[in-house]
A and B are shown apart, each in its own frame.
Chain A
Amino acid sequence: DAMVIQNPRYQVTQFGKPVTLSCSQTLNHNVMYWYQQKSSQAPKLLFHYYDKDFNNEADTPDNFQSRRPNTSFCFLDIRSPGLGDAAMYLCATEPSRPNSGGALKNNEQFFGPGTRLTVL
């Protein structure tokens, strides 16, 4: 089945120790998103890739970086995790190509199961 996979599902790191979360997809979608979701809150968009173009949200801390080496994989790097970075991190994909008129169609996002990050 085509899907969005996140590894690991649970990640424990130490305060200040860099950590990388990974996301892969078999859907061949050109857009990939990273969200941070804290307890009882809505997902907060950190950044997204449209193809290879990286789009950072204005309020995403510099501590968060991302890499997308190819269509299938996307990584979230947290350079120096703080206690406030403990959260669920969700990866999502979306197929988004312009139509014949050049307009982008609104499509749903396909979410992975998330990685729960604990910072000790």
Chain B
Amino acid sequence: AQSVTQLDSHVSVSEGTPVLLRCNYSSSYSPSLFWYVQHPNKGLQLLLKYTSAATLVKGINGFEAEFKKSETSFHLTKPSAHMSDAAEYFCVVSVRTGGFKTIFGAGTRLFVKA
């Protein structure tokens, strides 16, 4: 079975400070992992993905994430937050072995203070 846990429902940072959004997963198979961002009343946009290649993945808008199998984690980071980063972020596990499964985390709301 697959599951995703986003450890923080809300994260608040000041503009220019680092961002850390935490995600832990479990999977019976080798998963692919994704981070999506959703701005209010918009669809989801892919930030980055891990699909069994390099464990450090760089995405758009300065975000990156590191796949750590030993810790079953895929935390999202950004060195310096911008006001435009304020949004909802979803960590997603995808498995295509033994079925067709996509599991969303509950989401983390990122607030960025001026």
Q: Which residues of A contact B (CB under 8 A)?
A: 4, 6, 33, 40-45, 48, 50, 55, 88, 90, 92, 96, 103-114, 116
B13-21, B42-50, B67-75, B76-84 - the one binding chain A = B42-50
Which residues of chain A have C-beta atoms less than 8 A from B96's C-beta? 96, 103-106
Main secondary structure of the interface of B (DSSP, over half): strand
Closest 4 CB pairs of A and B: A106-B32, A104-B96, A111-B43, A42-B104
We find that the number of chain B residues with CB closer than 8 angstroms to chain A is 24
Which residues of chain A have C-beta atoms less than 8 A from B97's C-beta? 103-104
The proximity string for B residues 87-110 relative to A, scoring 1 for CB distances below 8 Å and 0 otherwise, is: 000100011110010101111010
| B12 on interface, CB distance cutoff 8 Å | no
Contact residue among A50, A96, A106, A116 (Cβ-Cβ distance under 8 Å from B51): A106
Which residues of chain A have C-beta atoms less than 8 A from B94's C-beta? 106
Q: Are the CB atoms of A90 and B90 closer together than 8 Å?
A: no
- Within the complex, what minimum Cβ distance (angstroms) separates B51 from chain A? 5
Nearest A-chain residue to B34, judged by Cβ: A108
Which residues of chain B have C-beta atoms less than 8 A from A48's C-beta? 100
| B41 on interface, CB distance cutoff 8 Å | yes
Decide yes or no: A112 and B107 within 8 Å by CB, A55-B100, A103-B96, A106-B94 being known contacts. no
